[in-house]
Chains A and B, each alone.
Chain A
Amino acid sequence: MKKIILMSVVISAGIFGLSPYAFAEHVKSLRGDLALEEDSVAPTLKHYQKDEEPIERDYLQQPPLIPHKINEYRVTIKHNKCLSCHSWSNYKARGATKISQTHFESRDGAIMSNVSPRRYFCSQCHVPQVKAKELIANDFEPVDSMRH
């Protein structure tokens, strides 16, 4: 049986000219369709939005986006630069959005006295934005109840 399948694949490949090379010519990944050894043209540098108004969420579970630059903001075991404005102790004085209560929960659901280590690395979910064309066309619309 296996032989028959293999044979028919080989034959049909021969008929339709679908050698692996033929496939490669039609596949266009996000990095372009250049061969590996060729240098692609470097895209223009994009700049993060420097200082914008807070960005509304498009769906309930969306981690809020960062509407400002975060260059040089370090998150280390000894200090989290984001939290120096966004923590519960600091947000009022700094006029920042406060960190969500959900971030104090351990993975077993226990409430902790400070930000849970699994939620400590902010930029795993929260990201700054650049004004750039979408790589893939997208017509996502929030549901009516989330529309603003």
Chain B
Amino acid sequence: MSKKKISISVLVIGFILGVIFWGAFNWTLELTNTEEFCISCHEMRDNVYVEYQDTIHYANRTGVQATCPDCHVPREWIYKIKRKIQASNELYHKALGTIDTREKFEAKRLELARHEWVRMKENDSRECRNCHNYNDMDYPSQGRRAVDNHVKGFANGETCIDCHKGVAHELPDMIEDDSSAVLLKH
């Protein structure tokens, strides 16, 4: 066999293997991007998932759902990989049992919620805007309160998460964030 033929067959085999590995990598990655995967841990299934079932992103008139990864995993590849690498920390805490009871979870809820609030504030609520793009909002079909606050909010450079906290899960103890909206001395 000539050298030329060898190098061509190496290239072809390399290409095929590359496609297989890349496909397998993405396939595995997408497996972790499903609600089923998220709630395979009881920490998610018994806490945040139960709360989410009570909200508009789970139950609504048209039957469109936004599941866990729609909000919590970026769609763009580079941000997705970054988030996935960060999420490996969650495996470590799963092993430690950091939030393996309701009490432990409640104690951590504010901290965990803040991680998401900060992430969404920094990326201008990118995952919300995958579906709710404010350039595409039809103000006449919104309620008067929504129009007022959307126009004012966007003009002030606010982003979805600034107002829409706790739309899919119970809010944590808000005494530090908004003491005017909590029960006195609780």
Contacts and interface: CB of A to CB of B under 8 A. Distances in A.
A79 B184 contact: no
B74 interface: no
Contacts of A50: 143
Nearest to B168: A72
B182 A80 contact: yes
A84 B178 CA distance: 8
Interface residues of A, number: 29
Contacts of A82: 181
Contacts of A90: 178, 180-181
B186 A79 contact: no
Interface centre among B56, B152, B173, B182 (most CB of A within 10 A): B182
B106 to A, nearest CB: 9
Nearest to A113: B184
A80 B181 contact: yes
Interface residues of B, number: 26
Interface in A55-88: 68, 71-72, 74, 76-84, 87-88
Contacts of A115: 183-184
A51 B146 contact: yes
Contact of A83 (B54, B55, B181): B181
Contact of A76 (B145, B146, B170, B178): B170
Contacts of A95: 145, 148-149, 152
Interface of B: 54-56, 143-146, 148-149, 152, 166-167, 170-175, 178-184, 186
Interface of A: 50-51, 53, 68, 71-72, 74, 76-84, 87-90, 94-95, 112-117, 120
